[in-house]
Structure 1
Amino acid sequence: MKQRLIYLFGGSLALLACSRDKEDAPAIVTTSPVETNAPNTAYQPAFAGQTRVGGVTTAATSYQATVITSSLTNPWGITSLPDGRLLVTEKAGRLRIVTPAGAVSAPITGIPAVNPAGQGGLLGLCLDPDFATNRLVYWSFSEARPDGNLTAIGKGRLANNEQTIEGATVIYRALPAYAGTLHYGGRVVFDRTGNLLASTGERSDLATRPQAQVVASGLGKIVRITKDGQPAPGNPVVGQAGGRPELYSIGHRNPQGLAVHPVTGDVWQSEHGPRGGDELNRLQAGANYGWPTITYGIEYGGEPVGSGIQQQQGLEQPAYYWDPVVSPSGMTFYSSDRIAGWRNNLFIGALSGTHLVRLVIDNNRVVGEERLLASEGQRFRDVTQGSDGALYAITDQGRLYRIDRP
């Protein structure tokens, strides 16, 4: 492997790292961390660079952000169709197609009813790896059940006329249901083996929060299922007897980001912390990511979460965390060469942060952070790479941005 010198001046650290990338890359010179506000706590990170890493900067002449349309209503998930158009979910339960020129289709019918109350609705989506031949779409949504609401995964075929979803069916439900409207998680992505990963929240309330640690529960988890919703072959054995066979990892709060690294195939995940403690994790099969036993955040009222600890043997540390929060939502790795220096970087929509996060990752460590489009004042909900190699980002305010070279 090639060795690459990475200078972290802002983080007062210089290290020599072995890059996993096969290509040679220039040295990364960082400045002061992009976060300048005081943290909520005096908690100390577990390792250097776990938070407030040095900032990186993209030259303003290297890229251009264009608002393609402002006529979406609370868009939540976005993915690229093979022909370059975008498939977008709207929170209220609508699915639409948007062209690169900004034309927005009428709602596509056939989606099962969602419960859009609170943080619920029609959430993340992805295409089947064989979409070109089977036209199958998968989506996450909040479903009302007789005993409450839950995160469900739906599946159906986009009709040839693109006006309806045919044969829509629910292939997975994260049980138990709960009479609340918060923390559904809501992202879906296919891994390199052709199985579906889905994120579920722990439903926020003190009554349900502990279920993130309960292996008999589907709450606060990343699950790995087949295209038909069955536990995927090769899933880890999580916990003791009674553990659900679809579980891939546990101990999550409200995971709204999932992405697969284009080189390594590793699955990365982001989740909302409480007051501080937003996390980025590189998922390992069978691992426990700690919520609510450990966290770098505090309760909204200012008191510690649980015992107020940040490390415990057997519980995974986040690869990176934010305090104060940025509220990380949908995310994607950039695999294009259209914008210099961005290849294999991770991009995350920040809601309360009102910017697009760019993270430079080397040897599974975050080594640089940039805040893009902060002047736009938008809550960035999701971002994807289009078939044309550009990035496309949606915001809660209804905008769709194309981010590409000038």
Structure 2
Amino acid sequence: MRHRRWTALGSSNIPAILISSMAAAAPFLVNFTAFAALAQEAREFSTQTGTVLVETLASGLEHPWAVEAMPDGALIVTERPGRLRILRDGKLSDAIKGVPTVAAHGQGGLLDVALDRQFATNRTIYLTLSARGEGGYGTALVRAALSQDGRSLTDAKEIFRMNRFTRKGQHFGSRIAIDKDGSLFFGIGDRGEGERAQDPHDHAGSVLHINADGSIPASNPFRGGTGGLAEIWSTGHRNPQGITFDPEDGKLLTVEHGARGGDEVNNPQPGRNYGWPVITFGKDYSGVEIGEGTAKEGLEQPLFYWDPSIAPGAIAVYRGSMFPEWNGDLLIAALKYQLLTRLDRDETGTVTAEERLFDGEFGRIRDVIVAPDGALIMVTDEEDGEVLRVSKAPTQ
């Protein structure tokens, strides 16, 4: 077994993760369950809490990056080269028309998709993507409306674009978490230029917060002031690729890539600095020490970190009914070791153990969500990427 080390910092109330905001209506459950009948290559895996079944819902996707559940039981999926598709009743749609042009450069392309809290009536979706502009490439966020037949986007409007582009191809972020008031939280990485994460007048290396129309929420720490850009919520992040709210306590949670070690789970607070690259639990890929150590006054500590890195792609908190024994646990999709990790938490929110699932079985797991029926949905970031469903195996 590969040697692994994980560490939890802090004592309680670790905020959690990405779960679908859509209601689990009966028609949804019927349609969603239909995927199981159409799935191929179902496999059983033993876990510490019982046996799970992993089914392939779709394959042949080109580097899928994100998946989200729709109210009618379908799934909407992004492909990094720039395609947005719908998976319904075991069939993938053609690419949805009207998706804005993306700059598929390095790690960039079409990234996250999120459904507005009122999607069932307004058909509004949000996309993060890498765009090309003056100086190179950067992260943007787009709002659009999905047609009733699901074949096209209309009224696409860019509501955010980061303020400084670079020709570097890494660390674009960028998942979206939608707050109860409909405002959007999302992360942008340091774009491969670590010092930018310490500049509150630079969007790189930050968690950002905007309203659904692109305006600035009143709760933002630098709104109306000179201490930083009005959109910035927190700074000092290396590459936050997972972000969500715990539906139980409403706390914001991120997971971000470290270098060679130092992947972190954080609870971003307004105006706080999370340290990168001044402090980190990782080293440079060359083995050289980074920054000034692992702690410094005025800089926040992570709630949890990994060393060595697992390369986290997304994070979710389990609040479903299918696996009640996982209630409140953190689920993190991992690219490096091609696995899903489950962080077991006690009643105070403290991480007490880690279980690693599907190690190397399916490829690079990029996203994980909790579906309304309590199953997990994952996508694999491969040239022949898949959509997978994890459910409790039938008892004999």
Shorter-chain TM range is: 0.7 to 0.9
Question: Distance between the aligned counterparts of 1:359 and 1:161, measured in 2?
Answer: 39
User: Does 2:97 match 1:109?
Assistant: yes
Q: Provide the residue aligned with 1:251 in structure 2.
A: 236
SS of alignment partner, residue 212 of structure 1: helix
What do you get for the CA RMSD once the two structures are aligned?
A: 2.2
User: Does 2:318 match 1:334?
Assistant: yes
SS of alignment partner, residue 152 of structure 1: strand
CA contact (8 A) 2:8 2:351 kept: no
CA contact (8 A) 1:119 1:182 kept: yes
- What whole-Å deviation, never above 9, does each CA across 1:218-275 have from its counterpart, x for those lacking one? 1100001000111212112389825111111110001100121121110110000001
Question: Distance between the aligned counterparts of 2:99 and 2:135, measured in 1?
Answer: 22
Q: Which moved more, 1:340-349 or 1:81-90?
A: 340-349
SS of alignment partner, residue 399 of structure 1: strand
CA contact (8 A) 1:84 1:387 kept: no
From 365, 380, 385, give the equivalent of 1:380.
365
Q: Provide the residue aligned with 1:202 in structure 2.
A: 190
From 216, 221, 226, give the equivalent of 2:211.
226
Query: What's the CA shift for 1:35?
Result: 6.4
| Mapping for residues 259-270 of structure 1, pairs under 5 Å | 259-270=244-255
Question: Distance between the aligned counterparts of 1:329 and 1:239, measured in 2?
Answer: 33
Q: Provide the residue aligned with 1:370 in structure 2.
A: 355
SS of alignment partner, residue 212 of structure 2: coil
CA contact (8 A) 2:274 2:299 kept: yes
Q: Which amino acid aligns with 2:176?
A: V
Q: Are residues 174 and 405 of structure 1, via their aligned partners in 2, closer, same or farther at CA, if it must alter by over 3 Å?
A: same
Q: Provide the residue aligned with 1:402 in structure 2.
A: 389
From 318, 325, 334, give the equivalent of 1:350.
334
Q: Which moved more, 1:179-188 or 1:373-382?
A: 373-382
Q: Provide the residue aligned with 1:58 in structure 2.
A: 48
| Mapping for residues 5-404 of structure 1, pairs under 5 Å | 36-37=3-4, 57-61=47-51, 63-99=52-88, 101-204=89-192, 208-237=193-222, 241-307=226-292, 309-362=293-346, 363-397=348-382, 398-404=385-391
Query: What's the CA shift for 1:279?
Result: 0.6
CA contact (8 A) 1:84 1:386 kept: no
CA contact (8 A) 2:322 2:375 kept: yes
Q: Which amino acid aligns with 2:180?
A: R
Query: What's the CA shift for 1:67?
Result: 1.3
Question: Distance between the aligned counterparts of 2:223 and 2:121, measured in 1?
Answer: 35
Query: What's the CA shift for 1:171?
Result: 0.3
Q: Provide the residue aligned with 1:10 in structure 2.
A: none
CA contact (8 A) 2:330 2:344 kept: yes
Q: Which moved more, 1:121-130 or 1:328-337?
A: 328-337
Q: Are residues 107 and 138 of structure 1, via their aligned partners in 2, closer, same or farther at CA, if it must alter by over 3 Å?
A: same
Q: Are residues 213 and 375 of structure 1, via their aligned partners in 2, closer, same or farther at CA, if it must alter by over 3 Å?
A: closer
Identity level (%): 38
Question: Distance between the aligned counterparts of 1:210 and 1:268, measured in 2?
Answer: 23
Q: Which moved more, 1:355-364 or 1:374-383?
A: 355-364
Question: Distance between the aligned counterparts of 2:127 and 2:165, measured in 1?
Answer: 18
Question: Distance between the aligned counterparts of 2:350 and 2:233, measured in 1?
Answer: 22
Question: Distance between the aligned counterparts of 1:239 and 1:359, measured in 2?
Answer: 39
TM-score by length of 1: 0.83
Question: Distance between the aligned counterparts of 1:361 and 1:175, measured in 2?
Answer: 38
Q: Are residues 305 and 45 of structure 1, via their aligned partners in 2, closer, same or farther at CA, if it must alter by over 3 Å?
A: farther
CA contact (8 A) 2:313 2:333 kept: yes
SS of alignment partner, residue 210 of structure 1: helix
Q: Provide the residue aligned with 2:35 in structure 1.
A: none
The structure, 1 or 2, with the larger RCO (C-alpha pairs under 8 Å, 6+ apart) is 2
CA contact (8 A) 2:85 2:93 kept: yes
Q: Which amino acid aligns with 2:389?
A: R
SS of alignment partner, residue 177 of structure 2: strand
Question: Distance between the aligned counterparts of 1:367 and 1:239, measured in 2?
Answer: 42
